[in-house]
Amino acid sequence: MSEFEVISYAVEPVEGDDQIAITIRASDGNKWEYGVPYNRTTGRFTFEERDVLAADFGDEFVEELEGKIMAAVRAALKR
């Protein structure tokens, strides 16, 4: 079972960097911020915080978040 609920979150490319910014606001009042680097050539990304976020917010949220990260990487690669 997850510890917190997600109140809101944002996933967006970082201007001028091969990285996706993630900001999560949680039910306990805290804000988490992460940078997810990606490879411009392959489109692969490293999401090392996956297990921590799954423990805090649940697997379902992390799966949704990964989909948003993939979409943000694809959009950034089209630029």
Convert the pLDDT of each residue in 63-76 to its tens digit.
999 999 999 999 99
CB 33 within 8 A of CB 23: yes
Convert the pLDDT of each residue in 22-31 to its tens digit.
999 999 999 9
- Which has the higher per-residue pLDDT, 3 or 58? 58
* C-alpha 50 chain-centroid distance: 9
What residues contact 22, with CB distance under 8 A and at least 6 apart?
A: 9, 10, 11, 32, 33, 34, 35, 36, 65, 69
Does this model's pTM top 0.75? My answer is yes
